[in-house]
């Protein structure tokens, strides 16, 4: 018995002091910190939510709101669109019943909390309205201005945009202090992260209300600043683009994606492009390129794929083929489609180089996000990347991992790739400073709700 206890104690000691244990404890603490109110203002009560745009995102948001006990009304231009949004919401409730997460009667009552229509009105008692229409600035500005005239003065307006500027939209509003971004990730019912995007004029009360609502919906809220791609998509941009550059150099789709999944990502970057939608990823790439210039210039294979008309999983064909909604291997016609955008002869790139280039691209952009104030702390970056992209929790988060490597080592590796791959690997000034001063991201950008870095 004594020997067994000794072995158990030794094993427990090794486990508790391991890097993985420390990383997961860090994730627990930053997750708990995200529950705390980010501002001192008192949140407004929300019991009725409006959703403009009844597509997949709009229907998903409506279902989530109704699932959590609130009334919701969807609106779109066409009856067929509204019907599609209602069908999508019902399919999610049906799935919840099949998986025994809800009773059938409970699901029917929740579905009854969703209404929809095409005519103006119906938002007269709304506490918050979420806009989820097409990613075109003028369309969103017009919709938001129209809705602002229908709702009570206490009602908050939010946009679900993933790329467009909250401040640019706010210019169309009479009450910009009551407007902010509420960026849900697709699929809404599965992805835990919500980015609360604070514009220049957004009030503390609006932020507090959005934070409380996100928590009520069972989501993990992270407050971010306004800027192209906000936090998660801004950091993902160079990661996905680097995968395109690796593809152009002759690396295979399989090798690129395997390097990421072996690191711990839930799927590889090229598979992720398919999952997001090639059309949506292409649009995001254009926005980031326009904002940040040459270092975000889309890789040729990604451009070629974007021009092909393929949409990824939702259309059955992208980098991979999809049969009955399931991935069925890399498309054999991909090489011919990409043509001159990649080397005709595949080159065996070391998996260590593939992985390093993908992860370093994200670390470098994360440093820029912190420098620009898009993220308030290193912990916010870690949490957003874990909850929004599936960055491996056992590594503690992107910047926790960078701190373990040490910024000085990260800069040294960046310099090596800068010499061979060019300016997109120029280290961010913050990285250079931390490396020179023997600093860490967690110490330089602490989270106010954490007692220690």
Across the chain, which distance is largest between two alpha carbons, in Å? 76
Query: Measured on CA atoms in the order 306, 362, 19, 384, is the torsion positive or negative?
Result: negative
- To which H or E segment does residue 286 belong? helix 278-292
The CA distance from 193 to 300, in Å, is 31
Q: Is 355 exposed, middle or buried (0-12, 13-18, 19+ CB in 10 A)?
A: middle
Distance of CA 181 to the CA centre of its chain: 13
Helix axes 378-389, 398-405, angle to 10 degrees: 120
Is residue 183 annotated as part of the catalytic site, yes or no? yes
Q: For residues 214 and 182, what is the distance between their CA atoms, to the nearest angstrom?
A: 9
Catalytic residue among 26, 29, 88, 183: 183
Query: What's the gap between Cα 26 and its chain centre?
Result: 20
- Stated as kind and residue range, the H or E segment containing 139 is helix 137-148
Token pair 């912990």 is found at: 379
- Does residue 159 sit in helix, strand or coil? strand
What residues are labeled active site? 183
């Amino acid at each position: 018995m004594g020997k067994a206890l000794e072995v158990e104690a030794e094993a427990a000691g090794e486990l508790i002091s391991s890097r993985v244990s420390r990383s997961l404890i860090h994730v627990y603490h930053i997750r708990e910190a995200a529950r705390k109110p980010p501002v001192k203002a008192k949140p407004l009560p929300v019991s009725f939510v409006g959703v403009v745009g009844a597509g997949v995102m709009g229907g998903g948001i409506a279902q989530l709101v109704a699932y959590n006990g609130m009334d919701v009304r969807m609106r779109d231009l066409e009856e067929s669109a509204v019907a599609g949004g209602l069908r999508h919401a019902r399919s999610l409730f049906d799935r919840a019943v099949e998986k025994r997460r809800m009773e059938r009667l409970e699901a029917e009552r929740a579905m009854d909390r969703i209404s929809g229509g095409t005519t103006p009105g119906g938002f007269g008692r709304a506490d918050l309205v979420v806009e989820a229409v097409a990613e075109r600035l003028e369309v969103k500005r017009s919709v938001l201005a129209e809705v602002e005239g229908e709702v009570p003065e206490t009602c908050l307006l939010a946009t679900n945009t993933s790329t467009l500027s909250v401040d640019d939209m706010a210019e169309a509003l009479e009450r910009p202090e009551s407007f902010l971004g509420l960026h849900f990730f697709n699929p809404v019912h599965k992805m835990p992260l919500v980015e609360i995007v604070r514009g220049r004029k957004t009030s503390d009360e609006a932020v507090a209300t959005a934070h409380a609502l996100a928590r009520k919906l069972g989501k993990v809220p992270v407050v971010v600043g306004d800027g192209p791609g906000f936090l998660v998509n801004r950091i993902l941009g160079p990661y996905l683009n680097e995968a395109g550059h690796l593809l152009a150099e002759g690396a295979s789709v399989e090798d690129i994606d395997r390097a990421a999944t072996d690191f711990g990502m839930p799927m590889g970057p090229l598979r992720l492009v398919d999952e997001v939608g090639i059309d949506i990823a292409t649009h995001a790439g254009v926005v980031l390129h326009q904002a940040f210039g040459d270092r975000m210039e889309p890789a040729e294979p990604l451009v070629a794929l974007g021009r092909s008309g393929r949409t990824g999983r939702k259309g059955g064909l992208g980098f991979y083929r999809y049969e009955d909604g399931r991935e069925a291997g890399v498309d054999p016609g991909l090489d011919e489609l990409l043509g001159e955008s990649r080397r005709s002869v595949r080159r065996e790139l070391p998996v260590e180089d593939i992985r390093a280039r993908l992860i370093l691209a994200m670390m470098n952009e994360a440093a820029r996000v912190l420098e620009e104030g898009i993220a308030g702390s290193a912990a916010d970056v870690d949490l957003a990347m874990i909850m929004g992209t599936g960055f491996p929790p056992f590594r503690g988060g992107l910047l926790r991992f960078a701190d373990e490597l040490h910024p000085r080592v990260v800069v040294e590796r960046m310099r090596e790739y800068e010499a061979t791959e060019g300016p997109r690997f120029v280290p961010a000034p913050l990285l250079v400073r931390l490396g020179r001063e023997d600093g860490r991201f967690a110490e330089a950008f602490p989270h106010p709700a954490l007692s220690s870095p």
